[in-house]
Amino acid sequence: MTNRSITRRLALLSSLVLASLGATAPAQAQSDNWPNRPIRLVVPSAAGAGGDIFARLIATPLSEILKQPVVVDGKPGANGMIASDMVAKAAGDGYTLLFAPSSAILINPVINSKMPYDPEKDLIPIAQVGAAGILLVANPKTGFKNLNDMIAYAKANPGKLAYASWGTGSSGHLAMEGIKAKYGLDMAHVPYKSIPQEVTDLIGNNVPVGFTDIASPIPHIREGRLNALGTTGSQRWPATQDVPRLTEQGYKFDADGWYGIFAPKGTPQAIIDRLATEINRIQRSDAVRPKIEAQNMIVPPARTAAQFAESIKADAVIWQGLAKTTDLKDK
């Protein structure tokens, strides 16, 4: 090989190395300088709903750690698709994040043939926040004390009992459609845009029974405005230890729900990893852990962002299998 050939090859190699460094430099500079302005945490919940409450439990200490405001931005509706779509299409710069329930991530792709985004490709998992089930509640005027009371009435009165959930494709929708299928019940679904609206109508007996998140109805249950009939999930939850699980009452539903924090695709890995570390630390702190448990959830095992992504894949097999079994649609 001539000296000229060697020189040309060295020059080509150098240009390739420099091009590679040039491509990674902006991302590195972006993550090194992050954050230098407020961060928006988009939540598919109305103010006062469980998702909003939990998001603020994380956002406040995270603001202090990052020394930038973490602003909770509620965008309820469509079982989280409005909020998720907004974040999925945002810039991957670490300044727009999503705080979403598991149903928004796992069930929406099964029941919506034309999703405006791909949760698996467009959203990067960062950290799980909390773990719990959901609550089956009824207006006291129904006289229902447990799941079997509701089933007995629905069987004796086909088509006369409607039920509420916080949206088509929600885990509440999924759970009740499973109950209907198992026991042969005729009950219309009344989907709400937000859980506070749903709870208000349950208290007013505008709809007699429904599934809600694990936290929102607790004060109303304690004050006798709603009856707790049962919970889903793998265990009894901190604030509802006296409420039997649906599994204990004959309808097996052991899958746990959770909230998760996600970033748009393209977000630098250094930002993802830092957020995962800080969010896991915040949940386990003496200041925040009791507040999570007071909202009737438990703190999940600490996981890296990659481990959280793997757990989502495992949960998807369970939740999507249930959705397909019940032929979950807008019922």
**pLDDT tens digit sequence for 175-234:** 999 999 999 999 999 999 889 999 999 999 999 999 999 999 999 999 999 999 999 999
Class of domain 135-249: alpha beta
The 10 Å Cβ neighbour count of residue 240 is 20
pLDDT tens-digit readout, 93-124 = 999 999 999 988 988 888 887 889 999 999 99
The pLDDT value recorded for residue 279 is 98
pLDDT class of 16 with cuts at 50, 70, 90: very low
pLDDT in tens, 212-224: 999 999 999 999 9
Domain residue ranges of the chain, discontinuous segments joined by +? 39-132+257-325, 135-249
The pLDDT value given to residue 6: 46
Do 226 and 138 meet the contact criterion of CB atoms below 8 Å apart? yes
**Range of lowest pLDDT (4-8, 16-20, 82-86, 134-138):** 16-20
37 has a pLDDT exceeding 50:
yes
- Check pLDDT > 80 for residue 12: no
Q: How many Å separate Cα 140 from the centre of its chain?
A: 29
**The model's pTM:** 0.81
HSE-up of residue 218 (Cα within 13 Å, Cβ side):
19
What is the distance between the alpha carbons of residues 25 and 40, in angstroms, rounded to a whole number? 25
Q: Which fold has domain 39-132+257-325?
A: D-Maltodextrin-Binding Protein; domain 2 (3.40.190)
Which among 69, 46, 93 has a CA at the least distance from the CA of 268? 93
112: left (phi over 0), alpha (psi -120 to 50) or beta: beta
Q: Is the pLDDT of residue 56 over 80?
A: yes
* Per-residue pLDDT at 20 exceeds 60: no
What confidence score (pLDDT) does residue 2 get?
A: 56
Model confidence at 45, in pLDDT bands (50, 70, 90)? confident
Please give the pLDDT value at position 307.
Answer: 97
Do domains 39-132+257-325 and 135-249 share one topology? The answer is: yes
User: Which has the minimum average pLDDT: 23-37, 114-128, 258-272, 310-324?
Assistant: 23-37
pLDDT at 165: 96
